[in-house]
Structure 1
Amino acid sequence: MTGEGDGVDGDVERRRRWRLVLGAAAGEALGEAGGRDGAMDAALGALYDGVEAGAGRGAGRSAGLGESAPRVARWLGDIREYFPATVVQVMQADAIERLDLTRLLLEPEMLAAVEPDVHLAGTLLSLNRVLPDTARETARQVIRTVVDEVERRIARRTRAAVTGALSRAARTSRPRRADVDWDRTIRANLRHYLPEHRTVVPERLVGYGRRSSAVQRDVVLCVDQSGSMAASVVFAGVFAAVLASIRSLRTSLVVFDTAVVDLTDRLADPVEALFGTQLGGGTDINRAVAYAQRLVTRPRESVFVLISDLYEGGVREEMLRRVAEMTAAGVQVVVLLALSDEGAPAFDHENAAALAALGVPAFACTPDAFPDLMAAAIERRDLRAFAGKLAEEGMQGPTM
């Protein structure tokens, strides 16, 4: 990096960086931080000096943000000035965990100062039942900013992948001339190649089905809203809204803890759908799967996506039996341990292995990979291969 070479300048830069890493404790050996470095050091010290993760307020730290929401708001403004957005998001998440700032998120002046991200949106959704009226609209604006950003990231690719899969799934062996897929037709008839004529005799035509306004697939997204699934809930809500905008799909969104809530009628506005969730509480996967079964009226044209870490508080044997019934009836069942960018999640390995034994691998999926996953599910491809590919890319692969 610039300034880290040999010589006096390089030594000064190294001392400066170590001073910022080590904090005030290194002041005697490395000197006091001044100017912009001093402001950065103060912002870092308020969060990290003498604080153990999860210690809460007043747990022996030498610095802190105190009880004052205005002081916290100023700190949030400082870190946005001195650090890039990705670092700001990490520091905000650490502040909520380490300094017990959840209560202060109920105050509008603090909400106005935060850097919106998926994790903050999840925290606000977990508080949505206790948000005062003065903070609710600000919280809604924060969540809408996050939703809009996620939608820009995934909407176009999701629609392209899904509509392409629906088109391919509608292929017919008796196409009209304009609908012949010549590439696939030639490959399907290579054994009928006539060398003397240097041509292929297409005994079987492969083509695309005619476009239809009819619903071709039913998709049921069933999302665990326990506290550990916060990021997955946010992403799933946005994906559900995007899928619901595709006319050839009939999309349902169901969220659950120990109760089940159908949010399908809110999918026109993903923010409204997300405000219908209640993060936290227990988990009854069996009850949610039972409700989803009732939504499936065309098994062979249906995709059921269960997003859960599989820690079951309900009747495990019934949950597995219901999944087996759905797969036997022809439903394409997908189980995602997480839908987020956070890498391999914690999950119930025993339940994941039991699902794999039923032919339903359980694996984590990034939002960027989800459009291709849905395309594979619509085309009824073997999802174990898809899960294996994600495992190679560093996500949690299938439990086989």
Structure 2
Amino acid sequence: MNDPSLNPVTPVAPAANRLQRWRLVLGSEADNSCGSAEGGLRNIELALAALYEPDGSGGLGRGARGGRGDSRPNVARWLGDIRNYFPSSVVQVMQRDAMERLNLREMLLQPEMLESAQPDVHLVANLLSLASVIPEGTRATARQVVRTVVDQLMDKLQEPLRGAISGALDRSQRRSRPRHAEIDWNRTIRLNLRHWQPALRTIVPQTLIGYGRKARRPQREVILCIDQSGSMAASVVYSSIFGAVLASLPAVATKLVVFDTNVVDMTEQLQDPVDLLFGVQLGGGTDINRAIGYCQTLVQEPRNTIMVLISDLYEGGVETGLLRRASELVESGVQLIALLALSDEGAPSYDRELAAKLAALGVPSFACTPDQFPGLMAAAVRRDDVGAWAAGQGIKTSRAQG
């Protein structure tokens, strides 16, 4: 059982010595060299063996693979056991491994199993991919699982994004002749230190620096164009949450569009990310050209528009049409950015040739984690060089060919 996915499991038993930890990592094949697991470690060993041992010791393996009804209690019990034995980060890894190794997608169709699972982004992604076949009796539970994850992510991500966007908007509207209520006193004082008057013990400012008055209409338009193919599932979840946060900011006019071979405008669902997510249909083909063509029609003020294409760029439509539209958008002043992924995972699989062609047109392409997204949007709002921002974050961007 020498599986690299078990590396994070080693710290789960604080009472275990080094040899016993190795025994848990290596499995029953290490009985002779490390001894068998005993006491409380035996239950942990059984939970690991049920997933990672070739014979599925513990009754989880073959029954779950075959989808037999009598395996369901074992699966539900196993899901509960691993939540008791391991921290949530490890539980999420094991649940994903179970989905892949044991074909446990059916567990998402059973309310008692779903209640036992550890809610996370990947579980939500799997639920969304099964949304059309989830039985009526499981829908309420599935929706609650999605709501739990959405609420957790909103709590974590909305304030950083709000702060980053609001700060960038304020500072992009500086004025040299502000009204009294609009003066940025910190910058004004620093700029005028040379005008200190010792006799008066004060500074007489020659130049005032201030923020612009709040606009009555949105200062930026943001269009999120999201590929809903199966490989982009986690990105769809994060994008929907960020879209909902952006939509709550009066200074930003936000539109959200999802696509496969069809294009669906989900802007009206931005008020409730859960409704939005259940309106997504994961899977299908990909027609980026068609999606960008639709998004083009949504642009009202090109120089104030930020368009974020979230896709792995495996184009099933007309590539030449996509490149032409991208060129038109950039030339008109739209800030077009291609995110190859918006997820916690590492470097995604993507079409490197198409990314390089987009880069030649001035469209940076790179993967972005949810924690980095607020900084990205702030840089875009300030009209900074987003490619330079990514490089400063240690993010590798695609380069133009030739």
Q: Deviations for 1:356-393, whole angstroms, at most 9, x for unmatched residues?
A: 11111101111111111111111111111111123x2x
The answer for the alignment partner of 1:40 in structure 2 is: 44
The aligned amino acid for 1:19 is R
| Cα shift at 1:181 | 2.9
1:18 counterpart (18, 22, 46):
22
| Cα shift at 1:62 | 5.6
Cα distance in 2 for partners of 1:244, 1:133 equals 31
What secondary structure, in the 3-state scheme, does the structure 1 residue paired with 2:116 have?
coil
2:104 counterpart (90, 101, 105):
101
Cα distance in 1 for partners of 2:190, 2:334 equals 30
| Cα shift at 1:263 | 0.9
Cα distance in 1 for partners of 2:31, 2:300 equals 69
- Structure 1's 14 and 239: CA in aligned 2 closer, same or farther, altered over 3 A? same
Cα distance in 1 for partners of 2:148, 2:168 equals 30
- Structure 1's 33 and 185: CA in aligned 2 closer, same or farther, altered over 3 A? same
Cα distance in 2 for partners of 1:31, 1:162 equals 57
| Cα shift at 1:188 | 7.0
Cα distance in 2 for partners of 1:396, 1:119 equals 25
Q: Deviations for 1:282-317, whole angstroms, at most 9, x for unmatched residues?
A: 111111101111111111111111111111111111
The answer for the alignment partner of 1:397 in structure 2 is: 397
2:127–2:142: 8 Å Cα contact kept in structure 1?
yes
What secondary structure, in the 3-state scheme, does the structure 1 residue paired with 2:131 have?
coil
Alignment: residue pair count: 375
- Structure 1's 292 and 92: CA in aligned 2 closer, same or farther, altered over 3 A? same
Cα distance in 1 for partners of 2:314, 2:127 equals 23
1:280 counterpart (262, 278, 283):
283
| Cα shift at 1:69 | 1.9
- Structure 1's 189 and 357: CA in aligned 2 closer, same or farther, altered over 3 A? farther
Q: What aligned pairs does 1:270-349 form with structure 2 within 5 A after superposition?
A: 270-349=273-352
Q: Deviations for 1:192-234, whole angstroms, at most 9, x for unmatched residues?
A: x689999999776432111234221111101111111111111
Cα distance in 2 for partners of 1:360, 1:200 equals 46
2:263 counterpart (260, 263, 268):
260
| Cα shift at 1:114 | 0.2
The answer for the alignment partner of 1:383 in structure 2 is: 386
1:361–1:387: 8 Å Cα contact kept in structure 2?
no
What secondary structure, in the 3-state scheme, does the structure 2 residue paired with 1:147 have?
helix
Cα distance in 2 for partners of 1:383, 1:280 equals 30
2:240 pairs with 1:212: no
2:3 pairs with 1:27: no
- Structure 1's 88 and 218: CA in aligned 2 closer, same or farther, altered over 3 A? same
Cα distance in 1 for partners of 2:309, 2:218 equals 21
The aligned amino acid for 1:23 is G
Cα distance in 1 for partners of 2:353, 2:276 equals 32
Cα distance in 1 for partners of 2:364, 2:203 equals 41
Q: Deviations for 1:140-180, whole angstroms, at most 9, x for unmatched residues?
A: 11111111111111111111111111112222233113323
TM-score, normalised relative to structure 1 = 0.88
What secondary structure, in the 3-state scheme, does the structure 2 residue paired with 1:129 have?
helix
The answer for the alignment partner of 2:127 in structure 1 is: 124
Q: Give percent identity, aligned residues only.
A: 57
Cα distance in 2 for partners of 1:149, 1:273 equals 16
In structure 1, the gaps of 5 or more residues are 1-11, 51-59
TM-score, normalised relative to structure 2 = 0.87
The answer for the alignment partner of 2:77 in structure 1 is: 74
2:352–2:398: 8 Å Cα contact kept in structure 1?
no
Cα distance in 2 for partners of 1:202, 1:327 equals 41
| Cα shift at 1:97 | 0.5
1:355 counterpart (317, 339, 358):
358
Cα distance in 1 for partners of 2:159, 2:186 equals 26
The answer for the alignment partner of 2:5 in structure 1 is: none
Cα distance in 1 for partners of 2:377, 2:126 equals 28
Q: Deviations for 1:26-83, whole angstroms, at most 9, x for unmatched residues?
A: 2244333223211111110110011xxxxxxxxx656634232221110000000111
What secondary structure, in the 3-state scheme, does the structure 2 residue paired with 1:261 have?
strand
What secondary structure, in the 3-state scheme, does the structure 1 residue paired with 2:211 have?
coil
Runs of 4+ in 1 over 6 A off after TM superposition: 186-190, 193-203
RMSD: 2.3
The answer for the alignment partner of 1:55 in structure 2 is: none
Cα distance in 2 for partners of 1:181, 1:141 equals 46
Cα distance in 1 for partners of 2:396, 2:141 equals 36
Cα distance in 2 for partners of 1:117, 1:339 equals 15
- Structure 1's 196 and 398: CA in aligned 2 closer, same or farther, altered over 3 A? farther
The answer for the alignment partner of 1:6 in structure 2 is: none
1:223–1:308: 8 Å Cα contact kept in structure 2?
yes
2:142 pairs with 1:144: no
2:238 counterpart (216, 225, 235):
235
- Structure 1's 185 and 321: CA in aligned 2 closer, same or farther, altered over 3 A? farther
2:53 counterpart (49, 71, 74):
49
2:91 pairs with 1:88: yes
